[in-house]
Homo-oligomer: A and B are copies of this chain.
Amino acid sequence: MDCIKNIVICGGTHGNELTGVYLAKKHGWLLANQAAAAACRRYIDKDLNRCFALSNLNDNDNALESARAREINALLGKKGSENAPDFILDIHNTTANMGVTLILSSSEPALLQISAIIANEFSNIHIYLQPEKRDESPYLGTIAKSDVCIEAGPQAHGTLDAELFFKVERVVFRFLELIEAWNNGALPKISNFETFTEIRSIDYPRDSGGNITAIIHPALQGKDFCELKNGMPVFMDFDGKEILWEGETCYPAFINEAAYYEKGIAMSLAERFLHS
């Protein structure tokens, strides 16, 4: 990877994820969905962080967020063009117990190394690989040539947890320092670290009307990035009946994320890799 020079930091892509909203206001970073932040809602018409596929950017959808996506794309220099930013860091919150999770859309060695250094320096940091086809990816970060999404939780949407706020702030500034070190050929090397690679997501059990019929099992609640093995409890129905996991050994994340009930996601499943 070349020097990372043109960097954009943004928050409030979802208006009720307040760590990013208030960090953006504090530091003058890009407040991506201003209208949703003013209303303290995830979005007004549609999820802004699903509007950045090239096909979305090139249509003329009237939704508030579609217009805002085109505006941000023009402001930042246009996805897929030479003028696009080198790097976007986009700050999110989750109701899941994910600590501070660095989501990488590619396993680009410089960003992986920077993330590994941060995971080594701070407590409760996770590196999560979610490989994307950039052109088709709907995420804001994919405007840039490379990006990292920060997920911080657990935090109820519409609230601010002081510890998470200051921790995410320190992580962002450390990330910038380490980018500078990379640019100067002075990035330290860490060889022992773990990453989680997303396999797929699973939905809640639902009835024919689409209503959920079971919820996260109490034994799985808050157990993001812990091992889930065949036969372990995963859901509980409203009468208290346990539903056991029938599948491969995996590591769930985004367990019980509020915004994902409507997206049909109870959790995402990942594989764990130990790098050495």
Chain A residues engaging chain B, CB cutoff 8 angstroms: 22, 25-26, 40-41, 95, 154-163, 165-166, 211, 215-218, 221, 236, 238, 240, 256-259, 261-262
Evaluate contact between B95 and A159: CB separation under 8 angstroms: yes
3 A-B pairs with the lowest CB-CB distances in the bound complex, closest first: A158-B258, A156-B156, A95-B156
Chain A interface mostly helix, strand, loop or mixed?
A: loop
A251 to B217, CA, bound (A): 33
Evaluate contact between B261 and A221: CB separation under 8 angstroms: no
Evaluate contact between B160 and A215: CB separation under 8 angstroms: yes
Residue of B nearest to A165 (CB): B215
A256 to B257, CA, bound (A): 19
One complex includes copies of this chain to the number of: 2
Contact of A236 among B22, B162, B238, B256 (CB under 8 A): B162
29 interchain pairs (CB within 8 A)? A22-B238, A25-B211, A26-B238, A40-B261, A41-B41, A95-B156, A95-B159, A154-B156, A156-B156, A156-B157, A156-B258, A157-B157, A157-B158, A158-B259, A158-B261, A159-B257, A159-B261, A160-B215, A160-B216, A160-B256, A161-B215, A161-B216, A161-B256, A162-B215, A162-B217, A162-B218, A162-B221, A162-B236, A165-B238
Min Cβ gap A183→B in Å is 29
Evaluate contact between A258 and B166: CB separation under 8 angstroms: no
Evaluate contact between B40 and A216: CB separation under 8 angstroms: no
**Which residues of chain B are near A161, meaning CB under 8 Å?**
215-216, 218, 221, 256
**Which residues of chain B are near A238, meaning CB under 8 Å?**
22, 26, 165
A211 to B165, CA, bound (A): 17
Evaluate contact between A162 and B216: CB separation under 8 angstroms: yes
Min Cβ gap A217→B in Å is 6
Q: Looking at A236, A238, A259, which has the most chain B CB atoms within 10 Å of its CB?
A: A238
A209 to B194, CA, bound (A): 45
Min Cβ gap A122→B in Å is 16
Residue of B nearest to A166 (CB): B240
